[in-house]
């Protein structure tokens, strides 16, 4: 039996995404977890949404969402419609929705921009610009972002940087746009290391008021280099080191080579032009490396970053 679809609107990067699902509890979860991007629009606005994301309830024993993704594009209307099918728990459903809506935004940008780069990076906001902090998992991106916000700053992301046309776009990941907490991040038992995620009373800390939801000019790229050093410092980085590190931290999209849909073709074209895009960005914005001790210096990095951004 086909269940009726509930829907809602999400707005990211100037694009409107119509999310539809046969699980109304998921719409409620999105309203709660993706608040900065959730909007209530009239029927006409829903019909005009450039992107459609549909999530249907899967049956017992069906494969997971990453094996059952069916992207389809209507070239006349310019609508991308991705249907995800499979069994989900509520947490998996919410996470999958956010991730795939972000992927759809990326595809939409590819239709408008020839040069798009998606990096594994946090993005801090300073003086109306977004600064990408590039580094591997464990480099302290989320913790540095938390320290930045505690000091009164704003941020676009603690995990992803989507760059196009000299701008960096908000790209939510892992549901960190609303409330940071130990359970959310899987950090139980590490309260001392991650105390920045909590207020002075040990309660979970709502950071949504610090989240920037509009695209900003890209102000610069910071290469995070945690290592044993006597003192945290900014340093120049050789071009070859920049190239190799940034290539390592690129997010690339892989689909079934047999998939000949318009979306799959866009992804292949995107992968082919990544190096040209990277070269262009490296020539346009300031670049710096930061060396720091991961256990000792994280509290000092917001001030050090601000000093570099103002220089």
Q: Does any domain span residue 244?
A: yes
Residues 257 and 159 in one domain: yes
Residues 159 and 251 in one domain: yes
Confidence check: pLDDT of 93 > 60: no
Q: How many domains does the chain have?
A: 2
Residues 28 and 135 in one domain: no
The residues that bridge with 118 in the sheet, in sequence order, are 162
Q: Does any domain span residue 1?
A: no
User: pTM higher than 0.75 for the full model?
Assistant: no
Q: Does any domain span residue 219?
A: yes
Confidence check: pLDDT of 233 > 90: yes
At residue 248, the pLDDT reads: 82
Of 16, 150, 169, nearest to 80 by C-alpha is 16
Residues 228 and 97 in one domain: no
Residues 160 and 286 in one domain: yes
Residues 166 and 277 in one domain: yes
Confidence check: pLDDT of 293 > 80: yes
- For 14-50, write each residue's pLDDT tens digit: 667 777 777 777 777 667 666 666 776 666 666 667 6
Residues 37 and 183 in one domain: no
Residues 214 and 286 in one domain: yes
Q: Does any domain span residue 70?
A: yes
Residues 203 and 183 in one domain: yes
User: What is the span of the domain harbouring residue 66?
Assistant: 6-112
Residues 48 and 140 in one domain: no
Q: Does any domain span residue 283?
A: yes
How does the average pLDDT of the chain come out, rounded? 70
Give long-range contacts, CB 8 A cutoff, 24+ apart: 263-268.
263/71, 263/73, 263/80, 263/82, 263/107, 264/71, 266/107, 266/110, 266/111, 267/107, 267/110
Point out the domain boundary residue: 95, 112, 129: 112
Q: Does any domain span residue 303?
A: yes
CA 212 to chain centre: 12
- For 150-208, write each residue's pLDDT tens digit: 888 998 888 778 888 888 887 654 334 333 443 434 444 444 444 444 444 445 556 66
Residues 103 and 139 in one domain: no
- For 99-149, write each residue's pLDDT tens digit: 555 555 555 555 556 677 878 899 999 999 999 999 888 898 888 888 888
- Residue 135: CA atoms inside 13 Å, Cβ hemisphere, count? 26
Point out the domain boundary residue: 85, 112, 139: 112
- Alpha-carbon distance of 296 to 230, in angstroms, equals 10
Residues 36 and 125 in one domain: no
Point out the domain boundary residue: 58, 79, 112: 112
The average pLDDT across 291-308 equals: 92
């Amino acid at each position: 039996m086909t269940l009726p679809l509930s829907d809602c609107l999400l707005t990211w990067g100037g694009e409107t995404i119509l999310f539809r699902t046969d699980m109304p509890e998921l719409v409620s979860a999105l309203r709660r977890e993706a608040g900065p991007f959730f909007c209530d629009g009239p029927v006409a606005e829903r019909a005009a949404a450039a992107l459609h994301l549909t999530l249907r309830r899967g049956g017992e024993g069906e494969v997971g969402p990453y094996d059952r993704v069916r992207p389809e594009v209507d070239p006349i209307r310019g609508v991308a419609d991705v249907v995800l099918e499979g069994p989900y728990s509520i947490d998996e459903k919410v996470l999958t929705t956010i991730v795939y809506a972000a992927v759809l935004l990326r595809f939409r940008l590819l239709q408008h921009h020839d040069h798009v780069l998606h990096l594994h990076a946090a993005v801090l906001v300073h003086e109306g610009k977004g600064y990408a902090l590039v580094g591997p998992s464990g480099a302290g991106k989320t913790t540095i972002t938390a320290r930045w916000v505690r000091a009164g700053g704003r941020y676009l992301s603690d995990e992803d940087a989507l760059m196009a046309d000299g701008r960096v776009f908000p790209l939510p990941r892992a549901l960190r746009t609303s409330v940071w907490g130990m359970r959310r991040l899987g950090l139980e038992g590490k309260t001392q290391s991650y105390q920045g995620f909590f207020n002075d009373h040990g309660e979970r800390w709502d950071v949504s008021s610090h989240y920037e939801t509009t695209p900003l000019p890209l102000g610069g790229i910071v290469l995070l280099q945690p290592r044993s050093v006597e003192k945290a410092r900014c340093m120049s980085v050789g071009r070859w080191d920049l190239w190799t590190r940034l290539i390592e931290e690129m997010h690339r999209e892989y689909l079934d080579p047999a998939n000949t849909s318009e979306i799959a073709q866009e992804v292949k074209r995107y992968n082919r032009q990544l190096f040209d895009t990277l070269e262009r960005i490296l020539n346009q914005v300031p670049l710096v490396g930061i060396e720091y001790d991961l256990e000792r210096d994280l509290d000092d990095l917001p001030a050090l970053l601000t000093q570099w951004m103002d220089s």
